[in-house]
Amino acid sequence: MALKLVNRLPMLGRFGIPRCTFISPVRPSTRLSPGLPVCVACLCTSSSHCIRSHGCRQLKPDCWKRNLTTTIVREPTFVGSNSVGLHKDSFPRFRLTQLHRPTATEEEVFHRHLNSCSSSRQVLRLLRTVEIMSDTMAAAVLHCVADLEQDGHSLKDPSVLENVTIRALCLQLEEDSGRLTDGGLVSALLACTRLYLDPWSTLMVRLVSESQERLDKGEMTVEQLCILGQAMLAIEGPGSVMLEQVMSQIQRQEPAQWSLEDLSAVYRLLQSGGGLDGKYCDLLNAMHTHAVTVTSRMNPTVVSELLSVLVSLNQTQAMPLVINLCKQAVRHVPHFTDEELTLVLGALMHFGHSDHYFVQAMERYVPTVAFTSHPETVTKVMQFFSRRNILSPLVFDSVAESFVYRADEYNTSQVARQIMAYGKLGYLPPNAGDVFRKVETTLQKRFSHFQPRTLINLLHSCILVERFPVNFVSKVFGSYFLQQLQEQDTGMDRYVLSQLTQLYITVKLECPFYEGPRLLPRYRVKSFLTPGRSLETPVDTHLYNSVKNGLLNLLGARSYFGSKVLTPYCYTIDMEIKVDEDGYVLPFSLIYVCRIALCIDGQKRFTTNTRQLLGKEATKQRHLRLLGYEVVQIPFYEFEKLQTKASVVEYLHQKIFPHSYRLSW
């Protein structure tokens, strides 16, 4: 609920009288005394002034009532320049006093108590116990209420804004806006935007007007400019004139002279919308250069925030900073909150970076929290290892154990993404039976909750580790499901059709007992090898040429083998050799009796830290064997050891014809 602070007395809205529509950014402060007649619409104590200035002559005569409510409303007043004195009565009121400004220790104690509050009611209770308050403390109260009540783009309990204490605090900020410090002023303005107050309320107009005056003087610090920029983004959006003025003043300063707090504040401002349109490239580059030199002093929160900013602004040119932040993250892995670790992992995936020491730190940390971390954090861990093709049995086994017990806590997307990690790396944990029984149970209970593409990703991942979801494939091949899939925004792209086709081939080859629906021909592809995302990894060109030259020396002619042969079952064979029933090599163009498929497996077909084939490559070789091919694997780590032409020929001879001491042609 938006709060429009036009009236001076918060409780007067109860009378149901139309409020005065006059809003002025500079309005004289009226002090009310108990017992004086007052207009309930505009709080004027002079009838002539009320009629002349605010048009209250249009109201009914009964708009004049005795000022009975002023004795029960807290009327906050700042001490000196920026402090509020609080007195306690049965209904305590803020009154003008000459008490001293709170000391740094008093403010620290107040903020500590404020941060411990878990509800708005506790905040209000704390506020009533404070004897003296600075403007920054008052702004902190509003920020705390916003933290506790924000729910998306609204408040969980909008009635909190009608509380007399909050309204009185807002009233005091309105009346004494000109006496606030720069820090208190911009912080209060930002807090009001986070509480979704009406931008045209008197309070907001006063704070914005005063902020403009301070901004024109050019004396605000970088941190204060950033807070003001955040507020104007919330009020007017990226096109705000004041925001442009804020950014102009920031650009005139030298990032190398900024503190770490200032640097973080500017990054947050740019992330919020100030730099999303590609502006301020020079400023960002200067900030990146300075940030590289101070990463060693960044705490976990700053590291995660900065990585998140770099992702939001897509700063691909800032890889030196990303690398430094990753190194710093190694120290903070045990200290990240779940939300912070999720941001860090997401950023490292976005920039395609992983650090050996970071992986080791994760291997030590994840087994200790797999049962307690937030479901999205556990899922992000699996995505990170999967995206970087890092097979870590320590991590995968601990997450598999926790999955059996926590699967009901995960949403359908999280379930699918975790199983996809096992499928991509072709790894089965020791408790694979329990894991996939839990997957089956989850599918049975929540089948209709899965988005079509999410369900296909999950089922396809199962076949990559030789787990065949026959009961659910029949539903996927049905016309109703396929129609749902087509109606999604992304539609049926080639990758999804490839997944459906491989599911169909798997059922035909490995589940002969399956009698459910077949996949219609129009949903099948002819080749799994496609640009971009593909169910096959393209052959490494350098390794392919080296093997081809060796095979020429071995067989004697190019006509005795085929290259990049597309099979009727959609797989592309790197090299194929045909032999007759006696083992003689035939020209590739002739009819064959036996086919030999050479799989030239480069580094990209294996996990990065082990010599295990990825799930899709292991599935391809498994299916080729079922189709009658004799599969010969030529892995990079064996072939790269060969230094001479003779050693290459000898290696290929032993690999392709292991049972003959000499070629038989």
Residues 6+ apart with CB under 8 A from 156: 149, 150
607 CB neighbour count, 10 Å cutoff: 22
Which pLDDT score is estimated for 251?
A: 92
Quick one: which of 487, 486, 463, 464 has its CA closest to 473?
Answer: 463
Quick one: which of 189, 153, 159 has its CA closest to 174?
Answer: 189
What DSSP element (H or E) covers 461?
A: helix 452-464
Quick one: which of 192, 198, 164 has its CA closest to 9?
Answer: 164
Which pLDDT score is estimated for 24?
A: 31
* CB burial readout 519-557, b (16+ within 10 A) else e: beeebbbebbbbeeebbbbbbbeebbebbbebbeebbee
Kindly tell me if the per-residue pLDDT of 55 is higher than 90. no
The tokens 């994760």 sit on which residue? 362
The pTM assigned to this predicted structure is 0.80
Q: Give the span between the Cα atoms of 619 and 464, in whole angstroms.
A: 6
Contact between residue 189 and residue 219 where contact means Cβ atoms under 8 Å apart = no
Kindly tell me if the per-residue pLDDT of 482 is higher than 50. yes
Question: What does the pLDDT average to over 522-544?
Answer: 92
- Tens of pLDDT along 407-462? 999 999 999 999 999 999 999 999 999 999 999 999 999 999 999 999 999 999 99
Q: Give the span between the Cα atoms of 301 and 329, in whole angstroms.
A: 10
Please indicate whether residue 13 or residue 467 has the higher confidence score (pLDDT): 467
Quick one: which of 576, 586, 581 has its CA closest to 551?
Answer: 576
| Strand ranges (E), 111-164 | 132-134, 150-151, 154-155
Could you please report the per-residue DSSP string of 419-434?
A: HHHHHHHT---TTHHH
- Of the candidate ranges 40-49, 149-158, 348-357, 438-447, the one whose mean pLDDT is the lowest: 40-49
- Of the candidate ranges 74-88, 303-317, 380-394, 502-516, the one whose mean pLDDT is the lowest: 74-88
Residues 6+ apart with CB under 8 A from 272: 229, 230, 233
Q: Give the span between the Cα atoms of 383 and 420, in whole angstroms.
A: 8
Q: Give the span between the Cα atoms of 351 and 337, in whole angstroms.
A: 21
Q: Give the span between the Cα atoms of 57 and 512, in whole angstroms.
A: 90
Percent residues over pLDDT 90 in the chain:
62
Contact between residue 253 and residue 295 where contact means Cβ atoms under 8 Å apart = no
